[in-house]
Amino acid sequence: MTLSFLIYKVILVLVIFAITLLVATYSTYAERKIAAFLQDRIGPDRAGPFGILQPLADAVKMFMKEEMIPSVSNRMLFIIGPGVCMLTACMTGVVIPWGPSMNIGGTEYPLQITDLNIGILYLFGVISLGVYGIMIGGWASNNKFSLLGAIRASSQMISYEVAMGLSIIALVMTTGTLSLGQIAADQPGAHWNVFIQPLGFLIFIICAFAETNRAPFDLPECETELVGGYHTEYSSMKLGFFLFAEYINMFISSAVISTFYFGGYNMPFIARFVHDPNWLAVLGFVFLFTKISFFIFVFMWVRWTLPRFRYDQLMNLGWKVLIPLSILNLVVTGGWMMRMEIYHFFIK
Amino acid sequence: MITTYLFYLLSFLAIMFGSMVVLSKNPVHSVLYLVLTFFTIAGHYVLLNAQFLAAVHVIVYAGAIMVLFLFVIMLLNLNKETEPHKSIWLKASAAVASGSLLVVLVGSLKGASTIQSTNAFNPNIGLIENLGTTLFRDFLLPFEVSSILLLAAMVGAVMLGKKSIK
């Protein structure tokens, strides 16, 4: 590992971190604009042209607000809660391949921070830790609404992680690798995994909605029943961190869905027109971000279209619909992969 | 060289967080320290080149089991008043018993440096391909038996969780 390689990695980490924060910031703007569009309103249009500076105004407002820590709460854990939320949200971007490798002066520069050979498990581990921020914050607030929100969040996340894991196992069976770089590289042109695993994709995207606490699964912060859910007692930028972590999670989920099922940085027919690896890398990055933007739009579209589930409906969907469906998907995938063996077994 | 330092750092943190689990007054703090202990143990697995085990350890223990622990403890609302009080005789006998156990452990581990492993350690065994091959080729029967055990435990848990059994 040479020094230049190390410097390259540090720059890549910083760039991806900056892009993650930028995309999450402008997702808040996009959410307001899309909500306005779906409700036949105009949306924010005061700050800058078309309200483009609205996220900056929001950030300034968040930082400038008075900070309140309830006197009876557990001060230390109250502060750690939103920090853990933000940390786990930012950690997942590490294993996502943002484009094919660049080749400058005969040296390969991968557009992926690290290609772990257990990339999917790493991702899954970090997602499963995401619930701690909400639970710690909700409990330390010493407020019954916060505690109820935290408990809803944790039980919802644990329930949907099972179905999510089972749908990923079917994907791993067909791709034969746990590395995200390899999964993206194995889907050249239009050989996207969504055509091989349509049911798996459907289960995965539903679980992704539940894991990010987005509507129609936003019961942990359901205003009509729980005031603000787990962040009722939070104010100022601590509240901002909780809300911002949700947008980062949405961005990362969209990136993961694009990489797993929609070819990542691959695009049909592009290999016919572009041959230079550097241009391919740049175009791959653009394609990936187009796909990510589309999925972020889907997240918002669903939020402003569908009403919220009732809690028992949520649990029924998770345990009695999604888990049996994902097990069925697993069995069918395995049966299809072993079709020649099964055929020979019954012929002979 | 750096792995040696990491080993000592992780061991120190593991022991420190482990003692904090016992010493914390607040059960929620104990659970959170236990989660940190699991992280340091996962770090040890990574040092042994067992990445798969490290990832699964974090997913299963830190990500699922400890969340359930936290869940239950938050709902129970444990505090000073509900804490059970032990008599002084019980405390004294516990101290004597654990002290004797310490003596036995020290005595049995005195010559531990001379113990040699009979099978050569394969540093690549923890990588996922090798682990899968070993599990499904050399240890297929134990693997399947343990999966049946887990299935039985799962069915049992569902049966116990039912409100009424007809």
**Cα separations in angstroms, A110 against A8, A38, A125, A194, A285:** 10, 40, 24, 25, 12
For residue B52, list chain A residues with Cβ-Cβ distance below 8 A.
118, 121
Residue B59 lies in a domain: yes
Which DSSP category does A3 fall into? H
DSSP A121-171: HHHHHHHHHHHHHHHHHHHHTT-HHHHHHHHHHHHHHHHHHHHHHHHHHHH
Instruction: Give the CATH number, domain containing residue B25.
Output: 1.20.120.1200
What pLDDT does residue B82 have? Answer: 63
Domain boundary among B53, B80, B107: B80
Tokens of residue A100, six digits: 């094919």
Question: Average pLDDT of A332-343?
Answer: 85
Residue B110 lies in a domain: no
Question: Average pLDDT of A340-348?
Answer: 80
Domain boundary among B50, B80, B110: B80
End-to-end CA distance of chain A: 55
Question: Average pLDDT of A300-323?
Answer: 85
Question: Average pLDDT of A6-30?
Answer: 87
Q: What's the mean per-residue pLDDT of chain A? A: 83
Please tell me which of the candidates A117, A118, A151 has its beta carbon nearest to residue B74. Answer: A151
Q: Is the dihedral of CA A321, A323, A329, A335 positive or negative?
A: negative
Whether residue B64 lies within 8 A of chain A, CB to CB, comes out as: yes
Please tell me which of the candidates B56, B64, B67 has its beta carbon nearest to residue A121. Answer: B56
Tokens of residue A333, six digits: 């995938």
Closest-CA residue of chain A to B42? A125
Tokens of residue A296, six digits: 């972020």
What pLDDT does residue B37 have? Answer: 92
Closest approach of B29 to chain A, Cα-based (Å): 9
3-state secondary structure of A69: coil
* d(C-alpha A314, C-alpha A308), whole Å: 9
What pLDDT does residue A136 have? Answer: 86
> How many domains is chain B partitioned into structurally?
2
Together in a domain, B76 and B1: yes
B63/A129 CB distance under 8 A: yes
* d(C-alpha A3, C-alpha A7), whole Å: 6
Partnered with residue A102 across adjacent β-strands are: A109
Residue B112 lies in a domain: no
Position A153 pLDDT exceeds 60: yes
A259-289: b or e for each residue (b if 16 or more CB lie within 10 Å)? bbbbbbbbbeebeeeeeeeeebbbbbbebbb
Q: Is the ipTM of this complex over 0.85?
A: no
Which DSSP category does B1 fall into? -
Range of the domain at B140: 125-166
Output phi, psi for B104, to 5 deg.
Answer: -60, -45
Q: How many other C-beta atoms lie within 10 A of the C-beta of residue B67?
A: 23
Residue B8 lies in a domain: yes
What pLDDT does residue B150 have? Answer: 92
Closest approach of A125 to chain B, Cα-based (Å): 5
- The predicted model scores a pTM of 0.85
Residue B105 lies in a domain: no
What pLDDT does residue B78 have? Answer: 65
Which one has a higher pLDDT value, A223 or A333?
Answer: A333
What pLDDT does residue B141 have? Answer: 92
Kind and range of the H or E run holding A235:
none
pLDDT digits (tens, 9 = 90+) for A165-209: 888 888 888 888 888 888 888 887 777 888 888 888 889 998 888
* d(C-alpha A303, C-alpha A31), whole Å: 9
Residue B19 lies in a domain: yes
Together in a domain, B1 and B73: yes
Together in a domain, B68 and B130: no
Stretches in chain B below the pLDDT threshold 70: 77-84, 113-117, 120-121, 164-166
* d(C-alpha A31, C-alpha A51), whole Å: 13
Is residue A93 very low, low, confident or very high in pLDDT (cuts 50, 70, 90)? confident
